[in-house]
Amino acid sequence: MQFFGHPFSSYTQKVLIALWADETPFEYRMLDQEHPENFEELKRHSPFGQFPLVIDKGAALFESTPIIEHLQACHPGPNRWIPDGEIGRRARFLDRFFDLHVMNNMQALVGDALRPEEARDPYGAARARERLHIAYDWLEHEIGAQWATGDSFTVADCAAAPSLFYADWVEPIGSSRPKLTAYRSRLLAHPTVARAVEEGRPYRPLFPLGAPDRD
Ligand SMILES: N[C@@H](CCC(=O)N[C@@H](CS)C(=O)NCC(=O)O)C(=O)O
């Protein structure tokens, strides 16, 4: 299995966390300037050039959640990313919540900061910040156990780790949300999340909003 991604990319980290937690072997095809051929291959399979992407037995798959579903089905390891029954449905639901309402609002702010000054969208950026606060408030009431759905580490935690990691950089979760803050800390202490954070560390100077001196 080939995996295309970049160590500082949040959605790359989401899938790497699952791959590493299951100790699934793969070839890492890094999307960086030293490997233009990897970008060429990415573009052949991912219509928007988005990553992560996996190519497994000749079949290409993009979108982080279906990739993790594929890992569970075709490369099963010790973790059940989407458990059976109600917990699995909850994991799926929270995975969507973290991607759509935390990760994507965080990405909107990062994307806005990367635009030329005259192309920025202050209205859209303010709305993304407001929506992050709504997401944080909702999560503060929903997350109480060790992991998102309870005792087992699922796809929801894979999504939560990079989304809360970076979202807190662009719009701090703040001391008024102690449960969410504690959950973010538990995630960062998980060995595979800690590894993802370490592998992304050399790229922090590239963070367009300025990486804080912590984490
Ligand atoms: N919904 C996609 C989002 C993937 C995504 O936004 N990837 C970012 C990197 S974190 C990307 O490809 N950015 C480059 C681009 O959009 O051109 C998923 O779950 O994999």
| pLDDT tens-digit readout, 144-199 | 899 999 999 999 999 999 999 999 999 999 999 999 999 999 999 999 999 999 99
Show the tokens assigned to 69: 């579903």
Report pLDDT for 10: 98
Instruction: Please give the number of the atom of ligand 1 that sits closest to the Cα of 99.
Output: 19
Residues with pLDDT less than 50, the chain = none
Q: How far is the CA of 15 from the centre of ligand 1 (A)?
A: 12
Q: How far is the CA of 176 from the centre of ligand 1 (A)?
A: 30
Report pLDDT for 189: 98
User: Residues 134, 37: contact at Cβ < 8 Å?
Assistant: no
Report pLDDT for 152: 95
Overall pTM > 0.75: yes
Which H or E run contains 55? Answer: strand 53-56
Show the tokens assigned to 146: 């060790």
Q: How far is the CA of 49 from the centre of ligand 1 (A)?
A: 8
Report pLDDT for 52: 98
Instruction: Please give the number of the atom of ligand 1 that sits closest to the Cα of 63.
Output: 20
Cα–Cα distance for residue pair 65/159, rounded to 1 Å: 9
* Percent of the chain whose predicted confidence (pLDDT) is above 70: 100
Instruction: Please give the number of the atom of ligand 1 that sits closest to the Cα of 67.
Output: 20
Report pLDDT for 92: 98
Q: How far is the CA of 11 from the centre of ligand 1 (A)?
A: 6
Cβ count within 10 A of residue 68: 24
Cβ count within 10 A of residue 6: 17
User: Do strands 2-5 and 27-30 pair parallel, antiparallel, or not at all (unpaired)?
Assistant: parallel
Ligand 1 pocket residue status of 64, Cβ below 6 Å: yes
* Largest Cα span, the chain: 50
DSSP E strand stretches across the chain:
2-5, 27-30, 53-56, 59-62
